[in-house]
């Protein structure tokens, strides 16, 4: 049951119809929980019990952390009892965090560990067996599931109320639109909306349907077609020239953004039809002029999570410039490690960490030199800032797409001054795609131009499409996505993380 699909559409309509027909809050929560379990089972039933067990452990640990100090303790012993109670809460917090982190790292790094120990087949005759083993090793949505569990436990430890009922927490954790790839959502913001019983209204229904149709176009009509170019180019690196690798890297950056943001659009649209507003996850990140701003507008909920649950606990920017730079580098290296167990992800994190450190040092320099601050506010400074930021972002995507050392090493060797094999353009561009290099470059430029136009209208001119216009575009966008989608719909890139 993939977003979007006919099966998912029928499933969503059924859940919406039953949800709004029910009057009881508890009945609605049970419906969301059961429907979400069915949704997950349709994708990966073998890990359903594991995910339920992780949810239950987090629920009970959270309640234990929130348990009040016994009011019958005599005043003379209150201070001692309070110290013991706080130590117990801290131990429970670390227990809950440790279980989530251990499970996450175990699944992400188990393959590498088994290969290092020689317990996974590596010969060509046994490669099929190895692939079969590793293909089923990572539960879908585990990363986002664990991140939400950790955030919940920390929030409860910091004083937020714990979930009193199992069904409240279960409906939140398994809420099917966000279950696989986010956005990362906090428990209290979610449950408050469900308890309010507010129907979306006409504007909300139109906005929800619009987000689903818009996301379907981005995924099926654009991202999946760009993926064909990306996959063909990177699968034939030994024949590609420097210009071909540059083009494929640019294409991958667009594919990744459109693919991931499409999922979030469909998830947010689905939730809106149930009266729930999920947080926004992207805000035109490719038009930012600094890496810090990029991370405020790319995968916004992950950036907030890294900031609130890693960067601030490490000390944030409160302990001097040097410690701030170290904290930024540590956070981004951890972000790289989270994405996968290959060196490319670590390099990706290091590049972003170095970029954030450079931005922080530049900020400090600008405070000491007013003329530097003035330059960054000028048009040439803005263009330079945008070029440096997006240059680093798109270059780092190369390591994200080719995380294995033998892959990115070959790409880097051919990144400058390499001429393509004559058959590359013929086989990849003309025969497989039906376009020449320059035509593909123009098409990608057109996609970027449409994104720039949307950004100009939304942020520059403060213009939004009215709901009657969206209502007219919904069937058109849905039809285009249905008719012009590739023969084979690709899974979302972030399903791998």
Angle at 2 between CA 296 and CA 471, to 5 degrees: 70
Secondary structure of residue 458 in the 3-state scheme? helix
Residue 287 CB partners (closer than 8 Å, separation 6+): 386, 451, 452, 455
DSSP assignment of 41-83: HHHHGGGHHHHHHHHHHHHHHHHHHHPPPPTTS-GGGHHHHHH
Domain limits, the chain? 6-197, 203-282+413-496, 285-401
Could you list the pLDDT tens digit for every one of the 497 residues in the chain? 777 888 999 999 999 999 999 989 999 999 999 999 999 999 999 999 999 999 999 999 999 998 775 555 555 555 666 677 788 899 999 999 999 999 988 887 776 666 666 666 654 444 444 444 444 567 888 889 999 999 999 999 998 999 989 999 999 999 999 999 889 999 999 999 998 888 888 999 999 999 999 999 999 999 999 999 999 999 999 999 999 999 999 999 999 999 999 999 999 999 999 999 999 999 999 999 999 999 999 999 999 999 999 999 998 888 889 999 999 999 999 999 888 888 999 999 999 999 999 999 998 888 888 888 888 889 999 999 999 999 999 999 999 999 999 999 999 999 998 888 888 888 888 888 889 999 999 999 999 999 999 888 888 777 888 888 989 999 999 888 888 888 777 888 888 77
Does residue 299 have an active-site annotation?
no
Q: Residues 188, 197, 225, 339: which is the catalytic one? A: 339
> pTM for the complete prediction?
0.90
Residue 129: predicted pLDDT: 44
Tell me the C-alpha distance between 95 and 106, whole Å: 16
Residue 70: predicted pLDDT: 52
Residue 198 CB partners (closer than 8 Å, separation 6+): 275
Residue 99: predicted pLDDT: 94
Tell me the C-alpha distance between 489 and 65, whole Å: 44
Residue 137: predicted pLDDT: 65
DSSP assignment of 125-151: GGHHHHHHHHHTSS-TTHHHHHHHHHH
Q: How far is CA 241 from CA 405, 437, 443, in A?
A: 19, 12, 20
Residue 462: predicted pLDDT: 79
What one-character DSSP code corresponds to residue 460?
Answer: I
């Amino acid at each position: 049951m993939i977003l979007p699909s006919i099966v998912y559409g029928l499933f969503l309509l059924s859940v919406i119809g039953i949800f709004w027909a029910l009057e009881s809050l508890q009945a609605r929560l049970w419906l969301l929980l059961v429907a979400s379990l069915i949704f997950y089972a349709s994708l990966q039933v073998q890990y359903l019990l594991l995910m339920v067990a992780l949810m239950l452990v987090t629920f009970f640990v959270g309640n234990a952390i929130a348990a009040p100090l016994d009011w019958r303790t005599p005043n003379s012993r209150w201070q001692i009892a309070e110290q013991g109670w706080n130590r117990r809460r801290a131990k429970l917090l670390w227990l809950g965090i440790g279980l989530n982190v251990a499970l996450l790292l175990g699944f992400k790094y188990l393959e590498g560990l088994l290969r290092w120990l020689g317990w996974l087949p590596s010969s060509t005759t046994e490669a099929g067996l190895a692939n079969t083993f590793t293909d089923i090793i990572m539960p879908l949505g585990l990363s986002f599931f664990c991140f939400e569990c950790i955030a919940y436990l920390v929030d409860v430890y910091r004083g937020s109320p714990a979930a009193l009922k199992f069904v409240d927490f279960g409906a939140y954790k398994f809420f099917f639109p966000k279950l696989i790839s986010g956005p990362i959502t906090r428990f209290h913001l979610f449950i408050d909306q469900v308890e309010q019983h507010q129907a979306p209204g006409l504007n909300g229904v139109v906005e929800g349907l619009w987000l689903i149709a818009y996301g379907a176009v981005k995924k099926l009509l654009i991202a999946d077609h760009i993926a064909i170019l990306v996959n063909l180019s990177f699968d034939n690196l030994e024949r590609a020239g420097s210009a071909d690798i540059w083009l494929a890297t640019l294409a991958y950056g667009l594919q990744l953004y459109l693919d991931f943001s499409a999922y979030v659009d469909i998830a947010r649209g689905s939730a809106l039809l149930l009266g729930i507003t999920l947080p926004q996850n992207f805000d035109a990140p490719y038009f930012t002029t600094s890496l810090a701003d990029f991370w405020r507008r790319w995968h916004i909920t992950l950036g907030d999570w890294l900031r609130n649950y890693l960067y601030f606990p490490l000390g944030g920017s409160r302990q001097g410039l040097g410690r701030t730079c170290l904290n930024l580098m540590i956070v981004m290296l951890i972000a790289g490690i989270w994405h996968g167990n290959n060196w490319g992800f670590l390099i990706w994190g290091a590049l972003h960490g170095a970029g954030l450190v450079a931005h922080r040092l530049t900020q400090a320099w600008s405070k000491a030199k007013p003329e530097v601050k003035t330059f960054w506010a000028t048009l040439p400074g803005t263009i330079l800032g945008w070029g440096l930021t997006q240059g680093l972002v798109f270059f780092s995507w190369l390591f994200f797409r080719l995380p294995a050392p033998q892959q990115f090493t070959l790409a880097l060797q051919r990144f400058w001054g390499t001429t393509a094999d004559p058959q590359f353009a013929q086989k990849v561009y003309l025969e497989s795609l039906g376009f020449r290099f320059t035509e593909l470059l123009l098409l990608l430029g057109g996609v970027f131009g449409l994104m720039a136009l949307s950004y100009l209208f939304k942020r520059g001119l403060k213009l939004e499409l009215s709901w009657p216009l969206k209502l007219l575009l919904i069937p058109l966008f849905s039809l285009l996505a249905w008719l012009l989608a590739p023969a084979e719909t690709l899974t979302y890139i972030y399903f791998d993380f």
